[in-house]
């Protein structure tokens, strides 16, 4: 089984925290959709006839596409690939796009899962992030989707924001759980270079919560999710039983996927492919038959480190038997000696035959993973 990711690089506004590839001009939207379909056709051999279990429209803001444009892309995929009849087809969406009329058309086009970028239920925080919606629209979007029979919904929230207190974060979580969406993705704000927040921080226009406050927000997230019977199946992802993101889980479980669109990444077990992060260059390259992309052949060390990095973040953890089978006894022995201090400190624990992060260890996930790299 494999997945297909389609990057839609358009947004109404530039969020102040975002460093993903996007444009606030939709002038070339029709040309880009045509190019996406051409790339899908040109790369129909990439996944080697694997069945497609997931299709994911990310961005950017994919909900800016019309239902006709989405349907044309999905029809092209179905024509050229073996798409499972139960495939998870996700659309990332901003709340202000999800009117009843729009949702009816999305459902008709084949969308059966929504990832809604709410980020906060406080208008002042949404304005500070330069989001295009308000808190009322956020609540209405989820209610609209459920009323149209789209129950498989994920809500995105951000913590560690400027002026976000523990009390405000608890309110955000309460609102999310009250909406009864079966999936929650919650990300700690990271200040990326070349974003507005980075410039604001350097000029003293914003201040971030002190680290202990951000840690407290993450700990509250974990405890509130558990209280509401959500499974913490990846550092930033929580779900009700049976409602994990199948597409994102493929990234953490070494499934192959093909990325379509400018800046999209692909992985086939041997290499990673990176499309050019420029709309005009992408359109010109694909249309002319000379697509602009780079390929990175993965070394054994790359594969080992990626296995550690991705699996350690998940509920499934790192399996010594997989390390032994895929990478050999020498690397297994190095790994086992490397984990000893973290097992002793209570940051890692054994669960059956896999090693997983404890709740305390989840605060140090990146550091632990990097210490175990070769």
Q: State CA 218 to chain mean position distance.
A: 18
Pick from 191, 187, 98: nearest CA to 147: 98
- pLDDT tens-digit map of 269-279: 999 999 999 99
Q: Which CATH class is domain 2-252?
A: alpha beta
Of 3.30.300.90, 1.10.10.10, 3.40.50.2300, 1.10.10.920, the CATH number of 300-372 is 1.10.10.920
pLDDT at residue number 224: 98
Is the bond preceding residue 310 a cis peptide, omega within 30 degrees?
no
Could you count the other beta carbons within 10 Å of the beta carbon of residue 369? 19
Is the bond preceding residue 60 a cis peptide, omega within 30 degrees?
yes
> Where are any strands of DSSP class E within 145-190?
153-159, 183-188
The reported pTM is: 0.96
β-bridge partners, 92: 115
> Where are any strands of DSSP class E within 240-368?
256-260, 265-267, 271-275, 293-297, 348-351, 354-357
Q: Where are the domains of the chain?
A: 2-252, 300-372
In the predicted model, what is the mean pLDDT of the chain? 97
pLDDT at residue number 105: 97
Pick from 56, 55, 63, 66: nearest CA to 10: 63
pLDDT at residue number 369: 95
pLDDT at residue number 104: 97
Pick from 334, 303, 336, 302: nearest CA to 319: 336
pLDDT at residue number 164: 96
Average pLDDT for consecutive 10-residue bins of the chain (374 residues)?
97 94 92 98 95 97 97 97 97 98 97 98 98 98 98 98 97 98 97 95 95 97 98 98 97 96 97 97 97 97 96 96 96 95 97 94 95 95
Cα–Cα distance for residue pair 343/350, rounded to 1 Å: 8
pLDDT at residue number 253: 93
Could you count the other beta carbons within 10 Å of the beta carbon of residue 291? 19
Phi, psi at 342, each rounded to 5°: -80, -30
């Amino acid at each position: 089984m494999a997945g297909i990711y389609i990057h839609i690089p358009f947004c109404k506004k530039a969020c102040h925290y975002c460093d993903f590839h996007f444009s606030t001009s939709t002038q070339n939207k029709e040309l880009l959709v045509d190019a996406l379909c051409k790339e899908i056709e040109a790369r129909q051999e990439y996944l080697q006839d694997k069945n497609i279990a997931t299709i994911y429209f990310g961005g950017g803001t994919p909900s800016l596409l019309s239902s006709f444009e989405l349907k044309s892309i999905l029809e092209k995929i179905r024509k050229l690939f073996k798409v499972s009849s139960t495939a998870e087809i996700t659309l990332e969406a901003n709340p202000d796009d999800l009117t009843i009329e729009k949702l009816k058309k999305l459902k008709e086009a084949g969308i059966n899962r929504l990832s809604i970028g709410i980020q906060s239920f406080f208008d002042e925080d949404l304005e500070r992030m330069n989001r295009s919606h308000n808190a009322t629209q956020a609540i209405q979007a989820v209610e609209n989707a459920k009323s149209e029979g789209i129950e498989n919904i994920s809500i995105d929230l951000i913590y560690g924001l400027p002026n976000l207190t523990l009390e405000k974060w608890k309110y955000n979580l309460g609102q999310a759980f009250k909406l009864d969406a079966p999936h929650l993705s919650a990300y700690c704000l990271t200040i990326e270079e070349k974003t507005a927040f980075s410039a604001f921080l350097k000029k003293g226009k914003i201040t971030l919560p002190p680290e202990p406050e951000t840690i407290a927000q993450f700990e509250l997230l974990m405890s509130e999710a558990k209280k509401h019977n959500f499974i913490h199946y990846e550092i930033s992802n929580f779900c009700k039983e049976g409602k994990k993101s199948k597409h994102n889980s493929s990234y953490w479980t070494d499934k192959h996927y093909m990325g379509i669109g400018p800046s999209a990444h692909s992985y086939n077990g041997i290499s990673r492919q990176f499309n050019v992060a420029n709309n005009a260059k992408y359109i010109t390259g694909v249309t002319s038959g000379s697509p602009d992309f780079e390929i990175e052949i993965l070394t054994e060390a790359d594969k080992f480190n990626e296995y550690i990095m991705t699996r350690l973040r998940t509920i499934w953890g790192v399996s010594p038997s997989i390390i032994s089978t895929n990478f050999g006894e020498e690397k297994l022995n190095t790994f086992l000696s490397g984990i000893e201090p973290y097992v002793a400190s209570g940051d890692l624990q054994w669960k059956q035959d896999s090693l997983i992060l404890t709740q305390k260890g989840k605060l140090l996930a990146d550091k632990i993973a990097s210490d175990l790299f070769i």
